[in-house]
Structure 1
Amino acid sequence: MAPEFDLTQSLPSVQVPYDLLDFMNQSDYLIENVDILDFDLGLDNPPLFDTSDPRDVADPNAGETQESSNSRFEIFKRTPWFWNPSSNQSTFSEHVQMPLDENGVNVASSPHWPYSIELCIQDKLDQEARDRIFQLVTRTVGTKVSIPSFPSAHFLDILVKNGIAKKIETDAWIHPHTFCASKTRTELLIALVAAGCVCFGIMSVGKTGGMLQEITRVALNNLAESDNSVLRDLQYLQAYMIWLDVGIFCGYKRKMEIAESDLQPLCTALRKAGAFNVSFYTRITPNANDSDAVLEQKWREWVKQESYKRLVYHLFQHDIFVTFAMSRNPITSYSELSVPLPAARNIWLAESPSSWRAAHLATLRGPGPIHNSLKALLTKPDRISLLSGDADQTLSLSIFVAGIAALVWDHRKQVSITEDGTGEDDPKTHLWIQSRRQDLYQMLQNAQAINPSLPAVQALFVEFLMMNLHVSLEDVQRFAGKFGEDEAQRSHVSLERWSKQRQARTAIWHAGQTLRAARNVPPYQLRGFDSIATYYATLTIWTYGVLHCNSRKRQSLLSDTTATIAPDDDAFDNGGCSSMQMLDHPPPEIHLDGPSSQDTIAFVAYNRGRAVLRLLDHPLDPVGKSNDILDLRQVMAVGIQALEGNYPDSDKVEDLPPLILSLRKLMQDLGSLPSQL
């Protein structure tokens, strides 16, 4: 029987999203005469979709015609996946003026200031460093941007320290205690200011960070053109990495595409310098009888070498996140990273040479030098639980998971080739695919078992990978309309078959666990790939619900009048039980975003139970209201709530970061589709 799935007939009123990036703003235009550090998006290029709350607008299904639906769908088919450049767009064309003055900012209102009670950065940015920053900014923008005022050294110092502190919250690849503003490249200072703005928790300051990110990018390119030696300079490479971090998930298509494409030069520079190979590094350890001068020299050499390690692995993780977010192949390879794993956090964050020595000497290590690396861990995964005592256990596990993610990506590509070819009919190929999936799944489960209290962001990524092993996100996105109507119909065939298998139930279970982890991410930290992973998890559950709604509709049409006794009786609801059994023993609710139990195991294995998600009444609500995943609007509402809940002080929707706002709008429109397609 041909699948009953025709987007032009089934979706009469709502535009089917062509792709994730179509919901990003084209650019972050700044209008003239705005308040100090309080930039708003201009209205010259309005977004394709209204960003108002759906509760404030009328039913989108009212008064729409098939003709208008088809017309809008054709617009979507013509919409490119990537940013569509126009002749009037160029560097700084989006920025009319840059009145950077702290007088309009209440620093105390930032949820990230003071940045940390455990971190003390002794250095203070002085007036001379402030003047260097100002000079580079004016030289870079030329006459294209008006700068009527500029922040004081004190305010820039706050932003720089906030930028460093936010890096330390994740994988700590910028060393805080050897930072010296007077000896730091101006480009790196501006990059840190941009990072501090973006992570400040005040949207107006965050938009200023986007402007400074653009300045950093241009300044770094100009510097490399005038002096090629900077391509081997650590501070230059660190500044480059920071602007990539700021740009890639900023929520504006132009900046995101540039940041995605400009990752290659940084990879090339580090690879050509030899920083991907173990031979680039030497083992530096302090001795108890080292003089102060010798100890100081060792400490600074060690910090520089350790900074390279952390930069390389941060770059690799960044590359993997972009790979899954943008559906493109990775630029780096796990097989080339023989870089020793980063040192323990307490050694890395030692405040002085003497405290560094004390931390080193107090660490238990093996009898000989151990150079564990990502390549070594993937060769022998058991090594992850046998790391040297001076290795950063949490960060090493995060790097290991990123390496597994690269293997998962490879596996999904191999599966797609097999499904498109004749391999699906080959028992040996099918068995190999199943075996490889199970191996990777077991590796991820082992990683979870090593540290059951993984940071929420890392736990979210592990759950996302487990989900991705059991569902093709490319097919899910195609089903949602990424490649147009014809491709959506083709994907329906394979996904309908998938929806009846254990793979599908495994996928939606881990999708629910991804949402659960997203709720546990500390406030204001759900701002990068983790937010996109939350969207993908929600989309996976939504797809599963749509397919079962369609199945229920067909069964209802084919059933006789006696089937009306139990209209909800299908394989999804009762795991194949008869209607009388269902009435006597209602299926248990399976909370996909709750803890594992015997019921959840039975659901995944035998399709017993009714899958639900929790919609919280307020952020502190521990229970919430159960919603069947066949209620597609509520499925998307749960995903939206997971994103919005990470920003508790955002009183208005417009206060959310651009990326979160774009994802929110995308899920709203998907949730507004009819429950039966």
Structure 2
Amino acid sequence: MFPEYTQYGALDNVQFDFDLNDGDFGLIDFYNSQNLLPELHEHLTEQNNVHFDADSGIAMGAEAYHRSSLSAWKPSHGDYAGNDHENLSIPQTIDSPEASVTSDRQILCERLSPSGRDRIFGMVLETSQKAHLSRIMRSFPSTDLLDGLIQQYFNIQKHGVDSWVHGPTFQPNEQEPAILGALAAAAAVRSTVPTIRKLGYSLAEIFESDNSITRDLRISQAYSLTIDVGIWSGNRRRTEIAESFTQPLVTMLRRALRFRRSVYTMIVPLVEDTGEALERMWREWVEQESFKR
């Protein structure tokens, strides 16, 4: 118990009273009567003897704030999402097997197919600026590069504390292009290659326009990934826009009754359940848990 105190012998000869009586401050009296934290006391004494330039500290903090993506963003005429669409094209020197900008490790049960890449490409063409179309069509990321980014996202997610896209049931070639693009973007923005990072931010700004699928799990996940990319982008414009789009996601989930306990059913397999029945129940359970996360 209490490792930060036990190393100083704080629990030696302490009589705990768990009767929870009001006004029982015996433990506090014990701590006050003991010199339990000599090192901390000496450290605080030394700090009090050191002169601190408050004005200098405030100035440094203000400067750090102004340089961060959390400070005020002053929009200009040239600030819009279409500005980044030119970054949806990748030079051959990067998008080639020799470049190895992404891991070739397969995390998912399957690889992204050329048709899956074409669906992402089609979504991009629907929303891209005409001025950039010819360039995008000539050098849009290959199937291998997009697949490598998607696989890499799930590899990154394994080491996170807030993973919420279930990998074992994710089949890239059966998914909507919005979630595929969002996953590729989420991995790309973590790349050490500037061109790949720019690609990630560009993909993140290709939004799904069909509002009839707002109840779909994958679209909600794609929306969440897009917001996550923007908030942590370090760019004032992207950060502010991502913050402003957070509430619609909450509204979508609320309208879908995803905050109600009654919507989630108990899924318990029986001994006699086999084959397709077990597979169906497992996938239903995964979808429910994914919405919770």
Is TM > 0.5 for Structure 1 vs Structure 2?
yes
1:329 aligned partner: none
What CA distance in whole angstroms lies between the structure 1 residues aligned with 2:270 and 2:227?
39
| 2:144 matched residue in structure 1 | 154
Any idea what SS the aligned residue of 2:195 has?
A: helix
Please give the residue correspondences for 1:110-259 in structure 2 after superposition, counting only pairs within 5 Å. 113-114=103-104, 120-145=107-132, 146-147=135-136, 148-170=138-160, 171-215=162-206, 219-220=207-208, 222-224=209-211, 229-259=212-242
Distance in 1 (CA, whole Å) between partners of 2:60 and 2:191 is 35
Q: Give the superposition deviation at 1:155.
A: 1.9
- Whether the aligned pair in 2 keeps the contact of 1:92 and 1:144 (CA below 8 Å) is no
Structure 1 residue 150: Cα displacement: 1.4
**1:172-571 to 2 correspondence within 5 Å?**
172-215=163-206, 219-220=207-208, 222-224=209-211, 229-310=212-293
Letter aligned with residue 168 of structure 1: K
RMSD between aligned residues: 2.9
Q: Answer yes or no: is 1:92 the counterpart of 2:82.
A: yes
- Superposed CA offset, 1:605-658 (max 9, x none): xxxxxxxxxxxxxxxxxxxxxxxxxxxxxxxxxxxxxxxxxxxxxxxxxxxxxx
The equivalent position to 1:22 in structure 2, one of 42, 48, 66, is: 66
Instruction: For 1:277 and 1:212, locate their aligned partners in 2 and report how far apart those are by CA, in whole Å.
Output: 33
Identity %: 34
Q: CA deviation at 1:162?
A: 1.1
Q: 1:20 to 1:214 in 2, by over 3 A?
A: farther
Whole-Å separation in 2 of the counterparts to 1:200 and 1:5 = 39
In 1: Cα distance, 2:185 partner to 2:53 partner: 47
* Contact 1:163–1:199 (8 Å) recurs in 2: no
Gaps of 5+ in 1: 26-79, 311-677
Aligned twin of 1:630: none
Relative distance call for 1:16 and 1:176 in structure 2 (3 A) is closer
Q: Deviation at 1:267?
A: 0.8
Note if contact 1:93-1:144 (Cα within 8 Å) is conserved in structure 2: no
1:6–1:191 distance in 2 versus 1, CA, 3 Å: closer
Between the aligned partners of 1:111 and 1:173, the Cα distance in structure 2 is: 25
Structure 2 CA distance for partners of 1:152 and 1:105, relative to 1, 3 Å: closer
CA shift, 1:109, in A, is 7.6
Taking a change above 3 Å as real, the CA distance of residues 205 and 309 of structure 1, as seen in their structure-2 partners, is same
Show the counterpart of 1:373.
Answer: none
- SS of the aligned residue for 2:139 comes to coil
Q: CA deviation at 1:19?
A: 5.6
How far residue 98 of structure 1 moved from its aligned partner, in angstroms, is: 3.1
Using the alignment, how far apart are the partners of 1:125 and 1:112 within structure 2?
A: 14
Residue of structure 1 in register with 2:47 after alignment: none
**Equivalent residues of 1:125, 1:182 under 8 A apart:** yes
1:335 corresponds to which residue?
none
Q: CA deviation at 1:263?
A: 0.6
CA deviation after TM superposition for structure 1 residue 120, in Å: 3.5
1:270 partner amino acid: L
Which whole-Å deviations, capped at 9, do the CAs of 1:190-210 have from their partners, x for residues lacking one? 101101212344343122211
**Corresponding position of 1:576:** none
Match of 2:158, SS state, is: helix
1:82 shift after superposition = 1.5
Letter in 1 for 2:73: W
Pair 1:91–1:202, CA change in 2 (3 A): closer
Contact 1:196–1:209 under 8 Å retained in 2: yes
| d(CA) in 2 for partners of 1:134, 1:235 | 18
CA change 1:152–1:97 in 2 (3 A) is closer
Deviation per residue, 1:331-371 (Å, 9 max, x gap) = xxxxxxxxxxxxxxxxxxxxxxxxxxxxxxxxxxxxxxxxx
| Distance change in 2, residues 1:185/1:95 (3 Å) | closer
**TM-score normalised by length of structure 2:** 0.71
Q: Which gives a bigger RCO, structure 1 or 2 (Cα 8 Å, sep 6+)?
A: 2
For residue 300 of structure 1, give the secondary structure of its aligned residue in structure 2: helix
**How many pairs are equivalent?**
238
Q: Deviations over 1:255-302 (max 9, x none)?
A: 011111111000111122121221121121223321212111111111
Contact 1:191 1:212 in 2 (8 A): yes
TM-aligned CA distance change 1:135 to 1:112, over 3 Å: closer
Aligned partners of 2:142 and 2:100: how far apart in 1?
A: 18
